[in-house]
């Protein structure tokens, strides 16, 4: 359901974040931009304090006042910055922290300059463009608040320039001609950065959804590939793979496993008389019976092929294997599926079982276990069918 929303947002000019994704959007930016925002805040603090040296060279008459003011600013704001980055969860707040502090810093700096009588003030005030550049380059999450703070910084800068120039005059006009291109350029950079951040997030979400859909589709394909379509039991391929794993774990843990090979008695006459649809229904009922008697995680029933099934019991000893085998033989007889065309005179569907344990002498591999179980299955059939032979 999110897929169309993300694609529509990506197609829109401003790549807006759908409301349902906003919490994830902020989490994405927290993971990708939190460190950047902290570093640029600390760099901004350091840069503002370092301008005390520039004041000493350009406006020495207020150098002491500048150093004291900047030190006080640093002592008051740096702990707040560190605390917010440690505790605050709102990325909007952290994203706007630097522009807000720069607005305050700009007001303080121009207030300092009004106390200077140095002839360098008229030129030195142009250094204030660093405020708007740093503020807009530091924004990463939301553009609208960045625009607001850009206007606030510009207002603080503008009022300071007007005060220093003694009103609107040629000096303020020249400053404006320098300042406005820097303002627009930095706003464009800010918009580009936030727009890129939105698109990066949306593309990441789209990639994640696509991957999830692919994994889900692959899971469905694996299920289809591993499941017998008629009975819903694991097919021969999947049963063999599970049996290999069970054999390995049994050897590692030192316990025994049992394999039961099961074949429906006289199934060909059943199919010939009742028809293949009835034969398929019979196979499904037998499969359902096997599945219902298996304990999840311990026993595994699968379709071996045709009318033949296999059951893996792990861990299992001789008594448990014999008990389960006989229980299955009795259960299928109790289903009382009519089979009126058996050559042996019985009138219901039965099956024969041959079973063996991995702990038996001479069983050194899974293939040997299968061979021995299969041999006992044919022994059960030769002995009259509808029974289990376990050794």
- For residue 299, the SS3 value is strand
CA atoms of 21 and 176, how far apart (whole Å): 41
User: Domains of the chain: which residue ranges?
Assistant: 2-211, 236-389
Mean pLDDT of 216-240: 76
CA atoms of 53 and 9, how far apart (whole Å): 48
Question: How would you list the strands of the sheet with 258-264, edge to edge?
Answer: 299-305, 308-313, 258-264, 351-357, 388-389
More confident position, 174 or 297: 174
Q: Count CB-CB contacts under 10 A for residue 153.
A: 26
Residues 6+ apart with CB under 8 A from 306: 267
Catalytic annotation, pick one of 242, 307, 308, 360: 307
Phi, psi of 132 (to 5 degrees): -70, -35
Bridge-partner residues for 234, per DSSP? Answer: 227
C-alpha distance across the termini of the chain, in Å: 58
State which H helix or E strand residue 260 sits in: strand 258-264
- Cβ contact 87:137 at 8 Å: no
Q: How many CA atoms lie within 13 Å of 340's alpha carbon, on the beta-carbon side?
A: 2
CA atoms of 294 and 339, how far apart (whole Å): 26
**Residue 242 falls in the annotated catalytic set:** no
- Cβ contact 52:5 at 8 Å: no
State which H helix or E strand residue 253 sits in: helix 236-253
Assign 295 a pLDDT band (cuts: 50, 70, 90). Answer: low
CA atoms of 342 and 269, how far apart (whole Å): 7
Residue 83 scores a pLDDT above 80: yes
Averaged confidence pLDDT in the chain: 90
Residue 220 scores a pLDDT above 90: no
Burial of 367 (0-12, 13-18, 19+ CB in 10 A): exposed
pLDDT by residue (tens digit) across 11-43?
Answer: 888 888 888 888 989 898 888 899 999 999 999
Evaluated on CA atoms 364, 366, 371, 377, the torsion sign reads positive
Phi, psi of 12 (to 5 degrees): -75, 150
Assign 224 a pLDDT band (cuts: 50, 70, 90). Answer: low
- CATH fold label, 236-389: Alpha-Beta Plaits (3.30.70)
pLDDT by residue (tens digit) across 176-207?
Answer: 999 999 999 999 999 999 999 989 988 888 88
């Amino acid at each position: 359901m999110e897929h169309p929303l993300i694609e529509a947002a990506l197609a829109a000019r401003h790549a807006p974040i759908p409301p349902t994704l906003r919490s994830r959007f902020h989490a994405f930016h927290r993971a990708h931009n939190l460190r950047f925002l902290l570093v640029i805040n600390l760099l901004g603090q350091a840069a503002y304090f370092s301008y005390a040296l520039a004041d000493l060279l350009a406006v020495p008459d207020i150098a002491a006042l500048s150093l004291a003011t900047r030190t006080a600013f640093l002592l008051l704001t740096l702990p707040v910055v560190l605390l917010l980055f440690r505790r605050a969860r709102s990325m909007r707040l952290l994203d706007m922290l630097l522009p807000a502090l720069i607005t305050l810093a700009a007001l303080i700096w121009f207030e300092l300059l009004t106390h200077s009588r140095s002839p360098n003030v008229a030129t030195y005030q142009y250094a204030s463009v660093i405020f708007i550049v740093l503020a807009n380059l530091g924004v990463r999450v939301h553009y609208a608040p960045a625009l607001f703070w850009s206007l606030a910084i510009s207002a603080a800068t503008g009022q300071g320039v007007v005060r220093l120039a003694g009103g609107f005059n040629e000096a303020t006009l020249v400053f404006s001609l320098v300042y406005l291109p820097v303002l627009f350029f930095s706003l464009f950079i800010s918009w580009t950065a936030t727009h890129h951040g939105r698109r990066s997030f949306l593309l990441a979400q789209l990639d994640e959804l696509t991957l999830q859909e692919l994994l889900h589709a692959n899971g469905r394909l694996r299920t289809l590939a591993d499941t017998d379509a008629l009975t819903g039991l694991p097919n021969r391929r999947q049963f063999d793979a599970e049996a290999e794993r069970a054999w390995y774990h049994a050897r590692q843990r030192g316990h025994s496993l049992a394999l039961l090979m099961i074949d429906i008695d006289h199934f060909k006459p059943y199919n010939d008389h009742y028809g293949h649809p009835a034969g398929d229904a019979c196979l499904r009922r037998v499969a359902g019976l096997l599945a219902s008697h298996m304990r999840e995680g311990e026993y595994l029933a699968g379709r071996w092929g045709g009318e033949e099934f296999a059951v893996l019991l792990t861990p299992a000893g001789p008594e448990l294997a014999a008990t389960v085998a006989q229980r299955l033989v009795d259960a299928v007889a109790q289903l009382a599926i009519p089979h009126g065309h058996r050559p042996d005179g019985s009138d219901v569907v039965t099956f024969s079982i041959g079973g063996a344990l991995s702990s038996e002498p001479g069983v050194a591999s899974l293939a040997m276990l299968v061979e021995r179980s299969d041999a006992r299955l044919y022994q059960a059939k030769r002995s009259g069918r509808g029974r289990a032979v376990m050794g």
